[in-house]
């Protein structure tokens, strides 16, 4: 009887154990860790390797990483599977993410223009006289921080990283004492951002008494961290390039890459020795900055291909783990629907009472075959809670400019503005393709904008202006060329109104949208007349539209012109106010300059000038553009004669690459006005 009871009791216990949750059964199996090494863009290979690990049915119990490995690992730990990561990295604008620039196509016109003028921008935030922002590093990483905050929705609180769906840790380097710092807790997005802070490129993160940068300097492949957390089995993915030989180091970039690679070898071999399956991706042909769509796609495939070479090893690990609950495994990749906290709201409310001052610094530089090199520096000062703003701009090159703006926010969407600008211009004036003379002069310009209205795509400005022109030299190539009779020192008092509209989706290479500009000004020399008769009327306008024909091919028609009218004759118009044409941009050398295909430099034009232009642009790849441009114009001294002379024609072919520091490219053109082939090379934003 007793034996029968014992038999029944044993059967009940065994049956009960068979119904225990698989999670309890899994506690006895070995814990698997995936370790992801740093490597910048080369770390995209991690995503391909994770695909294969998932296909093998291996549960990831721990994930550690450094730099790009920390980013991929951090997102994987909170529910992004390999396919989600694949989609996410392909749809990002990496060119914008790796800067502090803003996506400004929906911002007001003035801010858009500034973003497409300056190559580098940085904000310095002061609380009183104390600097709050980080000055170390060219890039603060604002865009990356914003992205990480969005991607870690639901995990924005400070937390223990072993409480995440997959326990996680990442590595940074404390450059104060050159020691390794491992993130086991804190804010997930900040930990990811800190681990990839490449020294002198991205601003470091201050934490307590530490200054933290990229973890690759101390532990680029943190397998030992995974072992310390409790990993029994380690699957590692590295993207270390083959060692360079002396003959392979020929350029300064090669030398820099070698220094970085050598620093990242700390503990590398030691950590590889404790790795059960080492998936060593060869990223030859790619660098840490290879964030182009084609490079990302290829690197993901490389990671997948290399991982499949270890398929048999992965299956052996899978067999060691025994029975695994596939339902619980899939639940690790379920993203939360809503955020637990709103990081942006917290940050704003925390600083709402502080009276901070922001100094925004901007630097632009360019090179072209006409002016050679130029640099422009801009600084804007804005105190929180104050209606006043101040901004200064300095341009150095063949043409020199210094400008000071004081703004007053009179209304919500508009402001009053007082500005002073000094210019020194050294300009060659051409006729029919040949340089006729060189002129140098100074300009003092004071503008009082009584109403400056900015509403997204629309800008309206009305005010008064004083200009003082001081001619310095006039050197003629031809001794028979007479100096203009009205060339000399002159003052103008004018009243103006400007209207601007811009809905284009790109400043230089739009594929849709419209741009319209119009200006009217009444010029006087004594506030109400010019040369004892009525003032001079100036009217200019331009309208262009981007029409997408296909996803890559765009047509861009434009009409534009300028008319200036004096009472007596064209001879009564001041030389500094006559029309000039040439180049690719409006107002490049002087405010009234208008572009024209095939004409380089600056050519004089008659008082009434009306033109039309058509650009056909094809995008090749992601950022390469070729275009064909044709221009036609009519000009006369009087509007009634505008169609009497024959047309002025111009043609141009060009190639441009849309780079982070501005467009880089060249054009070749011809016009029946210049009667010469014009070649132009440009590097950088226009200013």
Q: How many helices (H) and strands (E) does the chain have?
A: 17, 31
| 684: alpha, beta or left? (left if phi > 0; alpha if psi -120 to 50) | left
CB–CB of 668/655 below 8 Å?
Answer: no
**What integer pLDDT is reported at residue 100 of this predicted model?**
77
Print burial letters for 540-550: b (CB count within 10 Å at least 16), e (below 16). Answer: bbbebbbeeee
User: Angle at Cα 392 formed by Cα 390 and Cα 396, nearest 5°?
Assistant: 175
Integer distance in angstroms from the first to the last C-alpha of the chain? 101
Nearest partner of 361 among 386, 375, 385, 380, judged by Cα: 380
Q: Round to whole Å and give the CA distance between 61 and 644.
A: 83
Q: Are strands 356-368 and 648-659 parallel, antiparallel or unpaired?
A: unpaired
Angle, CA 156 vertex, CA 152 and CA 158 arms, to 5° = 135
Strand partners, 396: 375
CA 461, CA 405: separation in Å to the nearest integer? 15
CA–CA dist 67, 238 (Å, integer): 12
pLDDT of residue 285: 86
Range 81-89 contact pairs with CB under 8 angstroms and sequence separation of 24 or more: 81/50, 81/54, 81/333, 82/47, 82/48, 82/50, 82/51, 82/53, 82/54, 83/51, 84/333, 84/335, 85/47, 85/50, 86/47, 86/51, 86/300, 88/151, 89/44, 89/47, 89/296, 89/300
Token duo for residue 54: 């998932």
pLDDT of amino acid 432: 78
The per-residue pLDDT for 411 is: 73
Q: Which residues contact 482 (CB under 8 A, 6 or more apart)?
A: none
CB-based burial, 111-126: b 16+ in 10 Å, e otherwise: ebbbbbbbbbbbebbb
27 CB-near residues (< 8 Å, 6+ apart): none
DSSP β-bridge partners for residue 580: 593, 604
pLDDT for the residue numbered 488:
63
Cα 448 from chain centroid?
A: 33
Q: What is the pLDDT of residue 194?
A: 92
Residue 556 and residue 544 in contact, taking contact as beta carbons nearer than 8 Å = yes
Q: How far is CA 187 from CA 56, 191, 194, 207, 348, in A?
A: 32, 6, 11, 12, 17
CB atoms closer than 10 angstroms to residue 556: 20
Q: CA–CA separation, 430 vs 418, rounded Å?
A: 35
State how far the Cα of 8 lies from the Cα of 10, in Å rounded to an integer: 6
CB 546 within 8 A of CB 516: no
- Which helix (H) or strand (E) segment holds residue 224: the answer is helix 223-229
Q: How far is CA 572 from CA 365, 569, 593, in A?
A: 39, 6, 20
- Tell me how far apart the alpha carbons of residues 37 and 46 are, in angstroms, rounded to a whole number: 8
Q: Enter the pTM of the model.
A: 0.73
pLDDT by 10-residue block (mean), the chain, 687 residues: 48 42 59 94 95 94 95 94 93 83 75 89 78 65 87 90 95 92 94 87 86 91 95 94 67 59 75 95 88 92 96 93 69 49 35 69 93 94 89 94 92 86 91 82 95 90 95 65 59 96 93 96 91 89 97 97 76 82 92 94 92 97 94 92 90 94 95 92 95
Residue 417: other Cβ atoms inside 10 A: 20
Contact 128, 156 (CB under 8 A): no
Please give the pLDDT value at position 60: 94
Rounded Cα distance between 505 and 35, Å, is 41
Phi, psi of 156 (to 5 degrees): -95, -10
């Amino acid at each position: 009887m007793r034996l029968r009871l014992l038999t029944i009791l044993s059967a009940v216990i065994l049956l009960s154990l068979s119904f225990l949750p698989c999670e309890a059964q899994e506690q006895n199996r070995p814990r698997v860790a995936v370790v992801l090494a740093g490597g910048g863009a080369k770390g995209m290979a991690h995503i391909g390797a994770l695909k294969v690990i998932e296909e093998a049915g291996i549960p990831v119990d721990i994930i550690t990483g450094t730099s790009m490995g920390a980013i991929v690992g951090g997102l994987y730990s909170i529910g992004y599977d390999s396919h989600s990561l694949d989609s996410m990295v392909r749809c990002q604008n990496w060119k914008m993410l790796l800067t502090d620039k803003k996506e400004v196509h929906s911002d007001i016109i003035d801010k858009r223009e500034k973003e497409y003028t300056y190559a580098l921008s940085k904000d310095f935030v002061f609380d009183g006289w104390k600097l709050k922002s980080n000055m170390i590093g060219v890039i603060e990483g604002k865009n990356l921080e914003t992205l990480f905050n969005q991607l870690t929705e639901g995990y924005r609180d400070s937390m223990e990283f072993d409480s995440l769906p997959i326990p996680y840790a990442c590595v940074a380097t404390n450059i104060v004492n050159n020691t390794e710092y491992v993130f086991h807790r804190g804010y997930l997005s900040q930990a990811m951002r800190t681990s990839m802070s490449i020294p002198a490129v991205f601003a470091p993160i201050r934490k307590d008494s530490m200054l933290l940068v990229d973890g690759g300097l101390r532990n680029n492949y943190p397998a030992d961290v995974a072992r310390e957390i409790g990993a029994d089995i380690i699957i590692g993915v590295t993207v270390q390039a083959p060692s360079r030989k002396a003959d392979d180091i020929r350029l300064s970039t090669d030398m820099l890459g070698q220094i970085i690679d050598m620093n990242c070898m700390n503990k590398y071999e030691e950590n590889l020795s404790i790795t059960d399956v080492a998936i060593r991706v060869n990223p030859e042909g790619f660098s840490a900055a290879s964030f182009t769509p084609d490079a990302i796609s290829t690197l993901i495939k490389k990671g997948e291909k290399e991982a499949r070479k270890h398929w048999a090893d992965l299956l052996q690990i899978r067999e060691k783990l025994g029975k695994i609950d596939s339902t619980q495994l899939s639940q690790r990749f379920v993203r939360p629907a809503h955020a637990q906290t709103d990081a942006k709201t917290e940050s704003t409310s925390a600083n709402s009472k502080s009276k901070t001052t922001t100094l925004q610094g901007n630097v632009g530089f360019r090179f072209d075959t006409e002016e050679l090199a130029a640099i422009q520096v801009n600084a804007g000062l804005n105190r929180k809670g104050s209606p006043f703003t101040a901004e200064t701009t300095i341009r150095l090159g063949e043409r020199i400019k210094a400008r000071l703006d004081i703004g007053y926010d009179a209304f919500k969407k508009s402001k009053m503005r007082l500005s002073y600008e000094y210019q020194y211009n050294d300009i060659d004036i051409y006729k029919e393709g040949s340089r006729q003379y060189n002129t140098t002069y100074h300009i003092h310009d004071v503008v009082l904008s009584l109403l400056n209205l900015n509403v997204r795509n629309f800008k309206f400005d009305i005010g008064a202006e004083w200009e003082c022109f001081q001619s310095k030299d006039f050197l003629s190539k031809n001794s028979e060329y007479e100096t203009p009779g009205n060339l000399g020192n002159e003052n103008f008092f004018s009243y103006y109104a400007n209207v601007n509209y811009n809905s284009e989706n790109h400043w230089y290479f739009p594929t849709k949208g419209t741009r319209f500009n119009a200006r009217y000004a009444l010029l006087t020399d004594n506030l109400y007349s010019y040369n004892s008769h009525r003032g001079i009327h100036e009217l200019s306008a331009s309208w262009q539209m981007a029409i997408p024909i296909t996803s890559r091919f765009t047509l861009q028609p434009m009409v534009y012109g300028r008319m200036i009218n004096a009472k007596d004759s064209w001879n009564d118009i001041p030389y500094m106010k006559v029309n000039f044409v040439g180049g690719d941009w409006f107002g490049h050398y002087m405010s009234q300059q208008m572009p024209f295909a095939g004409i380089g430099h600056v050519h004089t034009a008659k008082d009434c000038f009306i033109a039309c232009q058509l650009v056909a642009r094809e995008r090749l790849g992601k950022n390469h553009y070729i275009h064909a441009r044709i221009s036609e114009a009519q000009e006369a001294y009087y509007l009634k004669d505008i169609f009497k002379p024959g047309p002025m024609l111009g043609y141009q072919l060009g190639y441009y690459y849309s780079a982070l520091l501005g467009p880089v490219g060249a054009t070749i053109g011809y016009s029946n006005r210049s009667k010469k082939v014009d070649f132009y090379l440009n590097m950088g934003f226009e200013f």
